[in-house]
Structure 1
């Protein structure tokens, strides 16, 4: 995993071989091809399914935008913007379930105890159901959320640079 130095970081999470779970990585792939690749002060990184390694990727940042597949009970392709502080404050009540074994909320709760956390925004794309088959394909319904997620990320970045 790359060491990141920029104050603003966009991190995509997911598994590229678990279908819809890879939607966060698809967003990162598109962002790396677009105008963001030239911006100074911004890192765009495929974080895979890094778990506790996320804490290293937060270190030294001012703002981190996390893009991931979520299960929140909304229609597939829906996009949710969630403040990291809201995840920590409402960890028991927020209807957000990561599709990974260790949720982003779990990692942030640990991170809060061991380091100073930057501003964190999660852009979650609803996948509708847990990925169970090995495939690189993202369903059309879930893929519809990619453009909206990118628009939200552009807004976050423009307000932070």
Structure 2
């Protein structure tokens, strides 16, 4: 059983040491400073670059909102809402990225084979290029997507609780 207890979870992914890749964590940081933090039935979690541990984080949840950096050939800082089932279909659209070997999409595909997955929604912020050098700075263009992502997450939460 997961150590998390809420039926709705918001999980932010990324590395704070890889610049724009950390934008999912920035969204979590903003959410944790709002009235949503501590709301019964909701967990807001910095999931870092957890890899297969994602399966533990989604266990026992009714709905999971994943926030992550994406590469979707769209303007830098643009925000996308992606249904988890669309990622799992094996469609051509696989924008979730990772500085490690497994992407969120890879882990969800594994999870689909070994456990029952909750409803999953991905809020992705376009970062433009893969981050290859260590930095703690997120570009201003990518940061422009944070407020829009927070608003999309608020809408997801209000329609789910």
Asked if Structure 1 and Structure 2 have the same fold, meaning a TM-score greater than 0.5 normalized by the shorter chain, the answer is yes
Question: Does 1:70 find its partner at 2:70?
Answer: yes
Q: Secondary structure at the match of 2:102?
A: coil
Question: Does 1:47 find its partner at 2:43?
Answer: no
Q: Is there any run of 5+ residues in structure 2 with no aligned partner, and where? A: none
Which residue of 2 is the match for residue 93 of structure 1?
92
Distance 1:97 1:13 in 2: 10
TM-score scaled by structure 1?
A: 0.95
Question: Does 1:29 find its partner at 2:29?
Answer: yes
Contact preservation (8 Å) 1:27, 1:67: yes
Provide runs of 4+ in structure 1 moved above 2 Å: none
Question: Does 1:115 find its partner at 2:115?
Answer: yes
RMSD: 1.2
| Deviation (angstroms), 1:95 | 4.5
Task: Give the structure with the larger helix fraction.
Answer: 1
Residues 15-49 of structure 1, C-alpha deviations (whole Å, 9 max, x = no match): 00110000000000110011111310000000000
Which residue of 2 is the match for residue 146 of structure 1?
146
Residues 53-103 of structure 1, C-alpha deviations (whole Å, 9 max, x = no match): 0000010000000000011111110111000011111x2411514133211
Q: Secondary structure at the match of 2:32?
A: helix
Q: Is there any run of 5+ residues in structure 1 with no aligned partner, and where? A: none
Contact preservation (8 Å) 1:71, 1:99: no
Question: Does 1:16 find its partner at 2:51?
Answer: no
Q: Secondary structure at the match of 2:132?
A: coil
TM-score scaled by structure 2?
A: 0.95
